């Protein structure tokens, strides 16, 4: 292993100890302390609450869905199993969302772009010039500071009136006359949520599966990526992390996620011993690419995707090559110039369901189409559309498919999103 900086001698040790103590003292005396609000009945493990929209999964799509639902006036609860929002972007460390543009024009905007843009600007970064032809498809991905992104996501949720519940996940759910009863479990918390609409942004359509709706799952999945940095320090949004493919990675449940994480971290430990380098950065979780996806009211096929089919109920654009990762790597299949795939609302609705939507990579699509649809900007677009549809459905007491499409599209435009086609 490489030597760290010169060994600390007794004098240095004393100096550093003193400075450290003094520094801590100054920090405590100035601004580095805050007080968390008291949680009513915090000692009570069982709580019940009613909301209009429950968003499960505070990742790429879930944040946007929740903020949109909140901004549309719906009482919204966002449940996240981890400690922070952002999912793949923050916990997984894939902090370069894209693609927001295609062929010289922005095709995905709205809340996702607002968040990403603000993150870059606050971080002193630079946004890509969409007029410039990217030499490779990933060049217009926006490099962001993952830590800042998580903070901004929380702030925007709070501003939209979205309640965040971390460390929780649904344990069971039951359909009620007007929606759902969802029993969530966290450590020291059992939360019963009565809601009109659910937006499942778990990545693997876990809630839809729990409700008994049909899902698809491949025997062999695309590898996950465990991100870390050896040797040199990692500067967020400026330097690249190292990547380890975790084959077989599956985000189906806590057991499969644990297995993928342990496998990835074990390999990283072996690598740093072999390379004799310091570990400078380590994400807490594998970035997953594939698990379950729903069978929806319609399914986006790879032909729909590569031909840029304009669905009659298209509510969002998507853009990325067909990008299936395998054991031998990945050979992205770029889309033909001018092609911009679209996402129909029906691909977000589990077949035969009434008050549940999905958003994110678990949308109804065949595997090859999904390999292009799963990327962050597209998931953000789906999240915002699902947020609008769920909020409007809750408001009018109907189902998302019964909300007039024109109303969904107009609301999306009002919130800065680009809606496919001229309708």
Partner 1 sequence: MITGRLSREKPEHYRHVKKPNLGSLRRRFTSLFTGLTFLVLAVTGVLAFLRPFSLSLVGLHALVGFLFIVLVGLHVTNNRRPLKGYLHSRSLWVTLTLTVLIAVVIWQRPAPVRALMGLSANLGPAQERFEMSEGEMVFQYAPDPSYRMQLTIKTGPAYNIATPPRVAIWLENQGAYHIKTLLVPEASAAGTLPYWSFKREGWEKAKREAEEEANIDAVSAATPNGSFDPADYILPADPDNPMPYRLLIEIDQTGDSHGSVEDQASLVYSVEIDNASPQTFQLLDLVGYPQQEEDRDGKEAWALYYVDEGFGSALDLIDSALLTIDRSE
- Between helix 110-122 and helix 60-71 the angle, nearest 10°, is 110
DSSP characters over 381-392: HHHHHHHHHHHH
Of 43 and 131, nearer to partner 1 (C-beta) is 131
**140 vs 325: CA distance, rounded Å:** 20
Least separation in angstroms between CB 331 and partner 1: 7
Q: Is the peptide bond before 99 cis (omega within 30 degrees of 0)?
A: yes
Taking Cα atoms as reference points, which of 293, 359, 372 lies closest to residue 330? 372
Least separation in angstroms between CB 109 and partner 1: 18
Least separation in angstroms between CB 131 and partner 1: 5
Taking Cα atoms as reference points, which of 53, 49, 56 lies closest to residue 72? 53
Least separation in angstroms between CB 317 and partner 1: 17
Of 180 and 319, nearer to partner 1 (C-beta) is 319
Angstrom CA distances, 203 to 30, 59, 78, 166, 362, stand at 42, 8, 15, 16, 5
Least separation in angstroms between CB 238 and partner 1: 11
Of 140 and 399, nearer to partner 1 (C-beta) is 140
Least separation in angstroms between CB 75 and partner 1: 44
Of 308 and 344, nearer to partner 1 (C-beta) is 308
Binding site for partner 1 (CB under 8 A): 103-104, 131-133, 135-136, 328-329, 331, 334, 336-337
Of 137 and 395, nearer to partner 1 (C-beta) is 137
CA atoms within 13 A on the CB side of 34: 2
Read off φ and ψ for residue 46, nearest 5 degrees. Answer: -110, 125
For CA atoms 367, 249, 284, 185, the dihedral sign is positive
Of 216 and 330, nearer to partner 1 (C-beta) is 330
**93 vs 200: CA distance, rounded Å:** 22
Of 215 and 325, nearer to partner 1 (C-beta) is 325
Least separation in angstroms between CB 245 and partner 1: 15
**421 vs 423: CA distance, rounded Å:** 6
Least separation in angstroms between CB 128 and partner 1: 12
Enclosing H/E stretch for 16 = helix 10-29
* Vertex 175: Cα angle to 173 and 178 (nearest 5): 130
Of 126 and 273, nearer to partner 1 (C-beta) is 126
Taking Cα atoms as reference points, which of 194, 200, 203 lies closest to residue 175? 194
CB count, 10 Å around CB of 344? 25
Least separation in angstroms between CB 275 and partner 1: 19
Residues 6+ away with beta carbon under 8 Å from 368: 302, 305, 322, 324
Of 130 and 147, nearer to partner 1 (C-beta) is 130
Angstrom CA distances, 34 to 30, 31, 65, stand at 11, 8, 29
Length of the chain as a residue count = 423
Of 140 and 197, nearer to partner 1 (C-beta) is 140
Least separation in angstroms between CB 102 and partner 1: 10
Of 7 and 337, nearer to partner 1 (C-beta) is 337
Least separation in angstroms between CB 320 and partner 1: 16
- Segments in 285-330 forming alpha helices (H): 302-307
Helix (H, G, I), strand (E, B) or coil at 14: helix
Angstrom CA distances, 288 to 62, 193, 226, 310, stand at 16, 28, 9, 29
């Amino acid at each position: 292993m490489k030597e760290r900086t010169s060994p600390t001698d007794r004098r240095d040790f004393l100096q550093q100890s003193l400075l450290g103590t003094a520094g801590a003292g100054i920090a405590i005396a100035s601004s580095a302390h805050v007080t968390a609000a008291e949680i009513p009945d915090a000692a009570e493990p069982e709580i019940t609450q009613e909301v209009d929209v429950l968003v499960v999964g505070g990742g790429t799509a879930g944040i946007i869905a929740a903020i949109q639902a909140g901004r549309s006036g719906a009482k919204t609860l966002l449940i996240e199993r981890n400690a922070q929002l952002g999912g793949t972007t923050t916990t997984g460390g894939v902090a370069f969302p894209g693609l927001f543009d295609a062929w010289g024009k922005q095709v995905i905007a709205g809340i996702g772009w607002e968040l990403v843009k603000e993150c870059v600007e606050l971080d002193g970064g630079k946004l890509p010039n969409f007029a410039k032809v990217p030499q490779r498809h990933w060049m217009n991905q926006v490099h962001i500071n993952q830590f800042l992104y998580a903070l901004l996501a929380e702030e925007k949720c709070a501003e939209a009136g979205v309640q965040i519940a971390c460390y929780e996940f649904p344990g069971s759910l039951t359909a009620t006359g007007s929606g759902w009863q969802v029993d969530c479990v966290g450590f020291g918390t059992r939360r019963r949520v009565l809601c009109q609409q659910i937006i499942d942004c778990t990545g693997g359509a876990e809630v839809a599966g729990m409700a008994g709706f049909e899902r698809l799952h491949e025997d062999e999945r695309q590898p996950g990526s465990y991100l870390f940095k050896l040797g040199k320090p990692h500067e967020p949004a400026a330097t690249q992390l190292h990547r380890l493919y975790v084959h077989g990675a599956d985000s189906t449940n806590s057991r499969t996620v644990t297995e993928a994480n342990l496998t990835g971290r074990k390999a990283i430990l072996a690598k740093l011993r072999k390379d004799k380098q310091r570990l400078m950065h380590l994400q807490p979780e594998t970035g997953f690419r594939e698990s379950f996806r729903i069978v929806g009211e319609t399914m986006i096929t790879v032909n729909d995707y590569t031909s840029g089919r304009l669905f009659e109920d298209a509510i969002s654009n998507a853009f990325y090559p067909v990008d299936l990762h395998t054991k031998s790597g990945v050979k992205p299949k770029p889309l033909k110039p001018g092609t911009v795939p679209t996402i129909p609302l029906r691909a977000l609705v589990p077949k035969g369901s009434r008050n549940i939507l999905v958003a994110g990579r678990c949308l109804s699509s065949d595997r090859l189409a999904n390999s292009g649809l799963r990327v962050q900007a597209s998931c953000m677009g789906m999240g915002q559309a699902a947020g609008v549809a769920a909020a409007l459905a809750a408001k009018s007491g109907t189902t998302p498919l019964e909300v007039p499409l024109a109303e969904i599209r107009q609301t999306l435009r009002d919130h800065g999103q680009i809606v496919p086609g001229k309708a």
